[in-house]
Structures are given as structure tokens and as C-alpha cells.
Structure 1
Amino acid sequence: MTRFRPCIDLHAGQVKQIVGGTLTEKDSDLKTNYVSQHSAAYYANLYKETNCLGAHVIMLGPGNDDAAREALSAWPGKLQVGGGITDQNAQQWIDAGAEKVGLRRSEAETRISELMTEKWRKDDTWFVAMNKWQTMTEMEITKDTIAILQPFCSEFLVHAADNEGLQAGIDHELVAKLAEWCTIPVTYAGGARTVEDLELVRAASDGKVDLTIGSALDVFGGEGAKFVDCVAWNSVQEGFT
């Protein structure tokens, strides 16, 4: 069944909610929806206290290692971490307490080695984007490319980057395609506005895709969705399994 998956997005060492398309090399381009006064460990403890599993810690650029490690220390073995992780340092993050890691592509790696994949929609198709979602690749997301990636992955985390932080609604077509193409767990992020979007994702994916709610969530300064309602949704879904 579709579940709410929490997140801890880190930028410059702080927990933030950012409009994904503005995350360029120029600080002046950055549009931030929310900068938390709380630490990454605070949110890790919040998720621990509510048994909100499957949370991902995403490091958006440099300067986030310490904050990510604090979160992992707060709930060892229960958080996933991604952003700037390669085959050279992945084991260090597992040793630091990560449940899973998302490998970023390096010059020496192939596309198949990527465990967490960001997507950008273009002309009714979806392409993988790198480097804080700013570098488009030629890798289109299709049934065939998903089939190539799946044997090397335990799950997918899919950011619809052009929806990220806008609270403009989820990409229903992408959610439906992910449900159709993926045989491993998959979480969609990008555009969620209210807790009702969990039901929309459930319906679009027949319960096969999970949802992350970021900027709309009250613990990140949002007004559309309450964290306690998302936790309650998970409790109800668990009652069906």
C-alpha cells in the first residue's frame, strides 16, 4: 500500500525546502521555501518517535556531511542517504548508520550503477538529471531503462525535479508509469500539496508507489499537510497489510 515517506533535505548544513529548479551554482538563483531552526537530528528523532520508516536524507551540494551524520546517529540503520555519494565513499555512509545509500554517478561509473534517480520531464517524456538537477542527461526513463536499473537497486527514489518545491500537484502520469514499470519499491517526490495526495498516488499506482511530502508539510513550514495526519495515514495502511 502507498505510504508517506518523510525526508530531510540538507543545503549548506541546514534543513531546507528548496524549489528544485533553482538549485544552480549561483546563490542568487536559489529560491527557498523554508529554512528550519531545527537540526537534521531533530527530524530524525521525530521520525523515530513516530516510527515513520523509509526516510531519506538528501545532501544538496557541499557542506552537509556533518548534518547528515548527526541524523544517522540519531536513528542508526533506519535512514537512507543520498547526494554526493559514490562507490568510493558509500561504505563510509553505511558505517555511519545509513540503512541504504543512493550512489551518484562519477566519470568512471555507468548509468546502471545509480541507485537513486532524479527525473526531469521534457516534452511528455522523462530524463535523468544530475548535479543538483541542473545537468540533463540523454537517459530517458522508460520501461526498458527501468528494467536495466532494477537488478542493481533495492528501491527507487524519484524526484520529479520540475515539480520539486512548487506544491503544484504531483505528476500523475509519471506515478502511474512507475507503478507499471517497477517491480521494486519506489517513492515519488515532487509537487505534493496536501495529505489527500497520498490517496491520489495510491489510486494512480494501485498502491505500488509511496509519496514524499516536503514543502507542504507543517514541520517544514507548510500549510497543506500535517505531519500527524501523514503518520495516521501510514497507520491505517499498515492495518491493511
Structure 2
Amino acid sequence: MSLFEIVPFNCRLRIYRRQASSTMRFRPCIDIHAGEVKQIVGSTLTDAEGVGPVTNFVASQSAGDFARMYKKDGLVGGHVIMLGASEANTNAALDALQSYPGGLQVGGGINADNCQFFVEKGASHVIVTSYVFRDGQIDFERLEKLKQLIGKEHLVLDLSCRKKVEDNKFYVMTDRWQKFTTTSIDEALFHRLAEYCDEFLVHAVDVEGKRCGIQQELVELLAKWSPLPVTYAGGASSLVRCYFTTERNSMLTMVFELCYHQDDLDFVERIGSGKVDLSIGSALDIFGGDIRYEDVVAWDKKRGEN
């Protein structure tokens, strides 16, 4: 008899569920490739033989080590992503989930056959993209099946996207971000999909892993369109970044803008109206970047106290 038949979800684990609010949070990540924790430029992942992805960083610590650190530091709602199907990746993901039960989401190759398994093993949510798309279109039958199997409260839909220059719209990417779907994101899409899931996760594929700056337009659209908690990932680079966003010539205004946009966390908090959470990967010092992890933890702790 399955655990799902005898124990209600809410009785098994004390899971983290983000409530829609105007208080932004930092979301940690653990990306797993070939069984190791890595930071990879996601758009370089490919199925082509002999072609490896561009790797920014390979950690000496295990996925479980990072999970225990996130738990100790009170970081919630982070995601574990398995980059490729392998036993090594699955084992590393399970190590993370069992080290922080109820505190992490898991994605990468999730489907109707394995979604229950990962929730039983400690995932607060499973993250799904490619499985719910067929021939570039959303397969609502598959979405409904996932909802019936684990409940919408355990499902995160990954709508990671790229902009097409032809029509200036953002389109959902699938299959390791190698394939454009025919589905562009808009307010109607978010509201329809909200019937099936608990949160959204959106990587800005054009800037993910490149530390070249937040894709401002996408963050603003997510804040405007999503009725559910949504996490943005991609392009974060600094906690001392200066953004020049005013076109006015007033020196007083220019100084104000320089002080106001003091870092990527505060920048996303402002342009996302506190509704869009931020995940930072390659830019963190724990992954070889320049942003001090302890500073991000301190920033998040202040928001959690509000």
C-alpha cells in the first residue's frame, strides 16, 4: 500500500508553502549535474554527443551539505534541479531532500511516474516543465493528472522563457531549454495555470548563469501577471550594482536613483513590488561568485521578520 493511500500529505511533513504577499524572499538553489553540485550556463545544456555545457563552478561539498546549510540559515523554498537523468543525480537530489525535509523543491525530469516518489522522499514541491508540454502546447490532461496524484499544493510549474525578436514576446522553453514552445507567457496563461499549481518558477534563459544583470522587463511582467508566488532566476551579479533608470537630467534625481538601486536583491524587490522572489546561483561566493552568501542570508532574515 502506498504512503499516499494511508497518510494525508499535510500529516507527513511540515513543508514550506510561500503565501502570496508583498514581502520578497531569497530562494536558494542546488543544481546537480553528473552527481555533483555545479553552476552551469543553462542555455549551453545539450543532448549532442561530445558537447558539454559551459560550467561556471563545481562544488567540493555534496548536495546534502548545501541543504543542511540552507536549513541552518533558515532559507526556505529553495529548489534542487537535476540537470540530466542519471542515478547519480537522483541520489544527490535525495541526499538534499533528506537533509532538509519539507524545505526544498525538486525538478528535472519530473513526470507522473515519479512525482509521488520525490514528495514521499521529502520534497515540499516538484517542479515540472517539459512533461506538461506536447508539440509546443500545454497538455492539460497531464497537468490534471499531476494535480490528482500529488495535489496542486505540491506542484510548481517552471515557465522558464526566452524572448523572440520576431514579436518581442517571451516563450516557454523546454527540453533543457533547447526547444521553444509555441506558448508565450501572458496574464491569461498565468491565471489559467494557477488552477493546477502552488507556485511558478521562471528562469530568464537568455541571462541565466551569465551574471550579466537582471532581465528587468521579465520581472516586471511576473509581478503584474502572476496571481501566485513566483520566483525569478537569472542574471544576478552584484550586491553593489548601480542601475541608471531615469531619463531626467536632474542631478538630484540621478543621485537618488544611484542610492535606491543599490543591489540586485533590492532592485528586484522594487521592480517586482515585493511579489517576485529571487534565486541567485553563480553570483554567490559559495558558487565561485562575488556576492557574499552571508550577506544574502542577512537580507532574507530581515524580510522574514517583517
- The TM-score range, normalised by the shorter chain, is over 0.9
Match for residue 44 of structure 2? 22
| Secondary structure class of the residue paired with 1:152 | coil
1:161 to partner: Cα distance: 1.1
User: Where do 1:32-47 residues align within 5 Å?
Assistant: 32-47=55-70
Q: Give the total of aligned pairs.
A: 239
Which amino acid is 1:233 matched to? W
Match for residue 208 of structure 1? 275
Aligned partners of 1:2 and 1:198 also within 8 Å: no
Q: Does 1:115 align with 2:138?
A: no
1:104 to partner: Cα distance: 3.6
Segments of 4+ moved more than 6 angstroms: none
Aligned partners of 1:169 and 1:191 also within 8 Å: yes
Gaps of 5+ in 1: none
Gaps of 5+ in 2: 1-22, 144-155, 240-262
Q: Does 1:75 align with 2:124?
A: no
| Secondary structure class of the residue paired with 2:301 | helix
Which amino acid is 1:2 matched to? M
1:10 to partner: Cα distance: 0.7
For 2:63 and 2:74, how far apart are their aligned partners in 1? 16
Aligned partners of 2:132 and 2:139 also within 8 Å: no
For 1:90 and 1:99, how far apart are their aligned partners in 2? 11
Match for residue 235 of structure 1? 301
| Post-superposition CA distance 1:54-86 (Å, at most 9, x none) | 110011112210100000010111110011000
Change (3 A) 1:111 1:193: farther
The alignment's TM-score, normalised by the length of structure 1, stands at 0.95
Q: Does 1:97 align with 2:122?
A: yes
1:145 to partner: Cα distance: 1.2
For 2:37 and 2:57, how far apart are their aligned partners in 1? 8
Which amino acid is 1:238 matched to? G
Match for residue 4 of structure 1? 26
Aligned partners of 1:10 and 1:59 also within 8 Å: yes
1:233 to partner: Cα distance: 0.6
1:108 to partner: Cα distance: 8.4
Q: Does 1:152 align with 2:196?
A: yes
Aligned partners of 2:130 and 2:175 also within 8 Å: no
Choose which of 174, 181, 196 in structure 1 pairs with 2:225: 181
| Secondary structure class of the residue paired with 2:85 | coil
Aligned partners of 2:232 and 2:276 also within 8 Å: yes
Aligned partners of 1:16 and 1:33 also within 8 Å: yes
1:28 to partner: Cα distance: 2.6
For 1:37 and 1:48, how far apart are their aligned partners in 2? 19
1:29 to partner: Cα distance: 4.5
Aligned partners of 1:127 and 1:139 also within 8 Å: yes
For 1:68 and 1:239, how far apart are their aligned partners in 2? 30
| Post-superposition CA distance 1:201-225 (Å, at most 9, x none) | 01111100000010000011111x1
Change (3 A) 1:105 1:23: closer
Q: Does 1:140 align with 2:207?
A: no
| Secondary structure class of the residue paired with 1:115 | strand
Aligned partners of 1:20 and 1:163 also within 8 Å: no
Aligned partners of 1:61 and 1:84 also within 8 Å: yes
Choose which of 238, 256, 265 in structure 2 pairs with 1:198: 265
| Post-superposition CA distance 1:122-165 (Å, at most 9, x none) | 22311111111101110001111112111111000111111111
For 2:100 and 2:158, how far apart are their aligned partners in 1? 21
Q: Does 1:165 align with 2:209?
A: yes
Change (3 A) 1:61 1:193: same
| Secondary structure class of the residue paired with 2:81 | strand
Cα-Cα RMSD: 1.5
| Secondary structure class of the residue paired with 2:299 | helix
Aligned partners of 2:28 and 2:279 also within 8 Å: yes
For 2:220 and 2:63, how far apart are their aligned partners in 1? 32
The alignment's TM-score, normalised by the length of structure 2, stands at 0.75
